[in-house]
Amino acid sequence: MDLVLRELVELGGGLVTRAAAGQVVPSWTLRQACRNGELVRVLPGVFAAAHLVGGRPGAPVLSRLDPAMSQRATLAWAGGHGALSHLSALTVWGLRPEVVGDLVHLSAPASASPRTRPGVIVHRRRGLTIEPPQVVVRRGLTVTRLEQALVDSWATMPPADRRALVIRAVNDWLTTPERLAAALERAPKLIDRAAFRHLLTRLADGCRSPLEIWGHEHVFTGPGMPAFRRQVPVRVGRRVVYLDMFAERERVNIELDGATSHGSPGHWEIDLRRDALLAAIGILVVRFTHRRLVQEIDDVRRETLAILATRRT
């Protein structure tokens, strides 16, 4: 390969565009590199170093690149007229793993030129502008905002996966239920929209896991149950701990232990120390396991009501 072209490819992390190459080498240099098998065309006007193309033979070249490279190649092809969106944006936001072979999703204004091609799906959107606040730059890549990406991807994922991603995004402080609700309002025809709205309501109530949502809806509501406050910050010495479900009058904190959490002795020791610190300031911690919450609903309710009644006397 021509030395100048090679340096340009290396500077681009294995990628080069026809426009960039045309500024430093004759057009025939790029064609010769492709004929020699040194470069491979992945999208119109975008080329990758041949040794970086792996994956399944017969698949689109774009899908045979490392996911991060395929995303960069797609944005280079769009030439500033598109942003990574849907599941691709969720990958950039760190909510999904990068998988070789994944299709790249690109959102573009209705008037823009990019069209769906092998390996890339282009979503055309009226009113979209490829600039803040509608898009942001994350990890050096232009992407739609997280709230929009979650709404766009909602109908394409299995129910358990999409709920988990929304919950994780809120728990990781990447977004809020309020910002997600605003994005949802802009998608009145979204499939299974009611389920999304219901999830956001529970998250706004303070629920932070599927188990907490289950407990809120099936166990800890009804006659005798107080209006629990959720995710309540409490200072204990130099620490601030968050209480899952706090009955303020009775000073009882109910902790819901998930099916896979608290499984190691180390976790249990941390929990015991935390519970002891809370006991020192008069807060009783009551823990229920995933199994009991799901399989012994009536027993858990009775025990909770009895504990609360005792604390009131």
Instruction: Give me the DSSP letters along 152-176.
Output: HHGGGS-HHHHHHHHHHHHHTTS--
Residue-level pLDDT at 55: 75
DSSP 12: T
Residue length, the chain? Answer: 313
Residue-level pLDDT at 269: 86
Residue-level pLDDT at 264: 61
Residue-level pLDDT at 120: 97
d(CA 198, CA 201): 5
CA-nearest of 21, 118, 37, 31 to 70 is 118
Mean pLDDT by 10 residues, the chain (313 residues): 94 96 94 96 97 88 95 97 97 94 96 93 95 96 98 94 96 96 96 96 93 92 91 90 94 81 68 91 94 94 96 87
Question: Is the dihedral angle over the CA atoms 121, 124, 129, 133 positive or is it negative?
Answer: negative
In Å, the largest CA–CA distance within the chain is 89
DSSP 299: H
DSSP 26: -
Residue-level pLDDT at 271: 86
Query: Do the beta carbons of residue 62 and residue 47 sit within 8 Å?
Result: no
Residue-level pLDDT at 263: 52
CA-nearest of 61, 58, 57 to 70 is 61
Domain annotation for the chain: domains and CATH numbers = 3-53 (1.10.10), 63-144 (no CATH), 151-205 (no CATH), 212-312 (3.40.960.10)
d(CA 190, CA 154): 8
Classified as helix, coil or strand, 90 is helix
d(CA 85, CA 148): 8
Residue-level pLDDT at 265: 65
